[in-house]
Amino acid sequence: MYKIAIKDINTLFSKIAGEQELILPVKKAGQYNFGVYEEGADTEGILTNKTVKSAKDAFFPQFETLYNVKKTITPADELENGEEASGTKIRTKLEVQMEELKDKDFVVFGMRGCDVKAVDVLDKVFLSDPVDNYYKARRDHSIIVALACHEPEESCFCTVFGIDPSDPKADVATWVVGEDLYWKPMTEKGTKLTESVKDILSDADEGAIEEEKANIKAIMDKLPNTKLSLEGWGQGKTDEKFNSEVWGKIYNPCLGCGTCTFVCPTCQCYDIKDYTTKDGIQRYRCWDSCMYSDFTLMAGGQNRTSQLQRFRQRFMHKLVYFPDRYDGMFSCVGCGRCVDKCPQSLNIIKVIKAFEKAEKGGAV
Amino acid sequence: MQGLKDRLKELLTDGTVARVVGWKKGDMPYNPEPAVFTSVDEMDDFVYDGFCGANLSKMMIEATKLEGKTAVCLKPCDTYSFNQLIREHRVNRDNAYIVAVGCRGKLDIEKIKKDAKGITEISGTELDGADEITVKTIYGDKTVNYSDVLLNRCHVCKGKDHMISDEVWGESKDTADQERFAEIEKIEAMSPEERFEFFKKELSKCIRCNACRNVCPACSCRKCIFDNTKFDAQQKANVVSFEERMFHIIRAFHVAGRCTDCGECSRVCPEGIPLHLFNRKFIKDIDKFYGEFQAGKDPEAQCPLTDFTFEDIEPGERG
């Protein structure tokens, strides 16, 4: 167990960033978001404030090029003699340039317990057969330095999904205690990183973080949404929940925007498309949103034609389909970002509560 | 609020309207959601307080297609949007019953949360509440002045009068305490490089969620060009270089002359991008080049950009 004074934290960031890429929350134009650390970055408040987007971009960026295809055309008068003789009029060559996979280690600092758990959810999808090479390369090279939640907020409900925000499981775990940041390597990768910054850390007593852990637990206990019940959700509930009338009563205000899906640390749907470039195409993938009208749109106009269906899809995926497929694991981690950001104040908590109310016979 | 709720229930009971578009009580002290109520029982969850900032006029596009009249609660600034939708033949006025609700400015929860995490209770946000609101949090209690935590748009309030109504409920207050174009003038005074940097910093936060577009009452195309699947510029790919800037600039051009400056785009942006600045710049320029014009003030008025007069400014002229 080590520690560093919070006032010196930029020295730590600078040191880590000197060795490898460092991704952490930075304040830009008034908002906290994960980004690459650059000397002089505004890190004020990053230990206590929730980021708008999660750290998902570090492993699965919102936009990434998969490969480029370049087309070269050689006109007839530039063809080589042999080609000309064989009757070739023009030569068209397609060249595929693969995007390079991540091949260097990088550190993500400041992920909370919920964000770390969200990576487990993404792993299930991208590391099961067929393995996603782009994702795997990033996962293999990532070193996660997690941060215990010093000031959980009222939209937080990670404990509902069995997450302990006072004791995040990562390569290194850190805690804010008084004026110091406590630092504990938890894995081999974490120990290696710690070695490289050891000269600016000082030894610390493990006892100091026990009080902080107890404080966090006590706060979580007082928050309004941490007692939410997931009874009735999970494996085997497809028919019952899919056909419920409750969806029709609660979906209406949904704007069909992608806010909830894009701030979510676990939403993993993507689309693959091409940009036409001057001399070929750029094949890219970008996050998709089940809230959008073109999500999994097929030539015949299927398969979700109304906002009710799209709205239902998102929550069914998180609370029923995902657990069905992955041994009961929910694909929500209770980070509360969608709760904070939905323009219409709809969210997964309200959905769960509406079903609970309806099941008890109340009007929704 | 009870009076308003009772009146709306009455409208449902006596058959004046078949449904009510209003706000439903949230599960936290500050998150009521826009909702459609079809029965008196459902109306028990109706709420109207300082957090009912959402402009409900756009919901009337669909609601007025239904059978029977729909009552809608509109604040003074929302009535401009509604008028504009009438002007564009997007809502059916005959199927709407407008309850013009009073407003003393709406609250910005982001501003409140800046100094208050772990909120459990907020009191004093009703229309007839006090000048101070009390915010209870698990980390301690705080009081803040109502006027210090208003949505930015309320500081340039268009006034306390409703532009259209069938009946009025509650008193309104003009909350303007800033010059409407002060923010624009500040940006106009920047050098082109500074201005580019400013917008680059703001717009690079864009996550292409399209919330600004989907909430905008002026964005009422049935199919947005950016949702066209045969179009290279994908609506959901946030390419850091230029894509999202194009989106916002194109959108601002498309709503120019029709935007009432309701401020919903900036209110809903999850990244806090001041999107209203684009629209307000257009409004300022339209005022300058074509004479003062407020979209939605008069549902019969011709918008300068869809009209021609011999006095119109020549293309390329910069006034």
Q: Would B315 be classed as within a structural domain?
A: no
B33 interface with A at CB cutoff 8 Å: yes
Q: Would B59 be classed as within a structural domain?
A: yes
**B215 to chain A, closest Cα gap in Å:** 7
- Is there a single domain that holds both residue B267 and residue B118? no
- Is there a single domain that holds both residue B197 and residue B155? no
Q: For A174-181, what is the mean pLDDT?
A: 96
Q: What's the pLDDT score for residue A86? A: 65
Give the range among A16-25, A76-85, B221-230 with minimum mean pLDDT: A76-85
Q: Would B64 be classed as within a structural domain?
A: yes
Contact across the interface for A257 and B209, Cβ inside 8 Å: yes
Question: How many structural domains are present in chain B?
Answer: 2
Sign of the Cα torsion B47, B48, B54, B59 reads: positive
B89-130 residue pLDDT tens:
999 999 999 999 999 999 999 999 998 999 999 999 999 988
Checking if the pLDDT of A305 tops 60, the result is: yes
CA–CA separation, B163 and B297 (whole Å) = 6
CA–CA separation, A272 and A244 (whole Å) = 33
DSSP for A134-198? HHHHHHHHEEEEEE--SS--TT--GGGGT--TTS--SSEEEEEETTEEEEEE-SHHHHHHHHHHG
Contact across the interface for B209 and A253, Cβ inside 8 Å: no
Of all residues in chain B, the one with the smallest CA distance to A350 is: B27
Q: What is the mean pLDDT of chain B?
A: 92
* The last residue of a domain, from among B169, B204, B233: B169
End-to-end alpha carbon distance in chain B: 49
Checking if the pLDDT of B243 tops 60, the result is: no
- Is there a single domain that holds both residue B9 and residue B148? yes
A178, A194 contact by CB (below 8 A): no
Q: For B261-272, what is the mean pLDDT?
A: 96
- Give which of A223, A257, A306 to mutate to test B binding, by max B Cβ within 10 Å: A257
A310-342 residue pLDDT tens:
999 999 999 999 999 999 999 999 999 999 999
- Is there a single domain that holds both residue B62 and residue B187? no
Task: List the domain boundaries for chain A.
Answer: 2-64+103-205+212-222, 238-359
Contact across the interface for A151 and B207, Cβ inside 8 Å: no
Locus of tokens 């014009």: B293
In Å, how far are A58, A110, A291, B28 from A62, measured between CA atoms? 9, 19, 16, 31
Task: Return the amino acid letter for B207.
Answer: I
- Is there a single domain that holds both residue B140 and residue B197? no
- Contacts of residue A278, Cβ cutoff 8 Å, sequence gap at least 6: none
Domain extent for B245: 182-306
Q: For A183-203, what is the mean pLDDT?
A: 96
For chain B positions 51-80, those within 8 Å of chain A (CB to CB) are 54, 59
- Is there a single domain that holds both residue B142 and residue B232? no
Q: For B62-83, what is the mean pLDDT?
A: 97
Checking if the pLDDT of B239 tops 70, the result is: no
Q: For A148-162, what is the mean pLDDT?
A: 96
Q: For A11-32, what is the mean pLDDT?
A: 95
Contact across the interface for A258 and B236, Cβ inside 8 Å: yes
Contact across the interface for A343 and B28, Cβ inside 8 Å: no
SS (H, E, C) B190-204: CCHHHHHHHHHHHHC
- Is there a single domain that holds both residue B35 and residue B156? yes
Residues of A in contact with B271 (CB under 8 A): 31, 33, 52
In Å, how far are B99, B215, B219 from B279, measured between CA atoms? 28, 15, 13
- Is there a single domain that holds both residue B96 and residue B122? yes
Checking if the pLDDT of A170 tops 60, the result is: yes
Q: Which of A52, A253, A287 sits opposite B35 (nearest CB)?
A: A253
Q: Would B176 be classed as within a structural domain?
A: no
B313: which 2 tokens?
A: 């400014």
Contact across the interface for A343 and B215, Cβ inside 8 Å: yes
**A285 to chain B, closest Cα gap in Å:** 8
Q: Would B312 be classed as within a structural domain?
A: no
A277: which 2 tokens?
A: 């470039």
Q: Which of A29, A253, A286 sits opposite B237 (nearest CB)?
A: A286
- Is there a single domain that holds both residue B162 and residue B226? no
B117: which 2 tokens?
A: 């995490």
B219, B255 contact by CB (below 8 A): yes
- Is there a single domain that holds both residue B268 and residue B215? yes
Residues of B in contact with A155 (CB under 8 A): 28
Locus of tokens 């079809």: B38
**B247 to chain A, closest Cα gap in Å:** 15
Q: Would B319 be classed as within a structural domain?
A: no
CA–CA separation, B63 and B61 (whole Å) = 6
Higher pLDDT, A336 or B301: A336
ipTM: 0.92
Contact across the interface for A31 and B32, Cβ inside 8 Å: no
- Is there a single domain that holds both residue B57 and residue B13? yes
- Is there a single domain that holds both residue B37 and residue B118? yes
Q: Which of A29, A286, A293 sits opposite B205 (nearest CB)?
A: A29
Q: What's the pLDDT score for residue A252? A: 92
